[in-house]
Homo-oligomer: A and B are copies of this chain.
């Protein structure tokens, strides 16, 4: 089994934090995104979707999505249960993941990929025909980002972590999203949001955060 990994990008980081929290070791192959290696033949032969991370299984099957990879390892190594232990927790974690991805992660991706020149005609992540940038989406992304940060802050005023006071995949997803937003120069969401700032410090202090 081989995990195709990459520096800086948010989706591979999601898997690294998850595996560190599980204490699971996997053989890794580093793909250099800054050199465009994910767009070139050797990697395309492995994952035509061009995306990283991807998990190549020994039988040749490929799990080509960060959440797919994490759920695969959750099934093999159930503890700690990062996608939730009880049925209710499982439902709540998934609901937060969907909100974090749809409202938060998409906001950052939208603001970033429609602005930076390297993504000209590649405004959406993945394997696509040319998709031109739409500059108005930068502003839409910023509006969504601010509102998303308020929603997180409100939730974290009432509890230590996002779901049921226990560190879960929802916290991993939110941490990766917040750090991706800060790295791409969206307004720092910790400013003026004490609960979000406290949670971000807690999550960042875990050893997994630097995996």
**Interface of A with B (CB < 8 Å)?**
49, 55, 57, 61, 63-65, 67-69, 71-76, 86-88, 90-95, 98-99, 102-103, 106, 123-124, 126, 128-129, 131-132, 134, 136-137, 140, 143-144, 147
Which chain B residues border A90 with CB–CB below 8 Å?
A: 71-72, 74-75
- Nearest Cβ in chain B — how far from A55, in angstroms? 7
> Which chain B residue shows the least CB distance to A151?
B127
Residue in B55, B95, B136 whose beta carbon sits within 8 Å of that of A63 in the complex: B95
- Nearest Cβ in chain B — how far from A78, in angstroms? 10
Q: A74-B90, A128-B143, A137-B137 are in contact. List 7 more A-B contacts (CB 8 A).
A: A61-B92, A63-B91, A67-B94, A68-B93, A72-B91, A102-B126, A131-B140
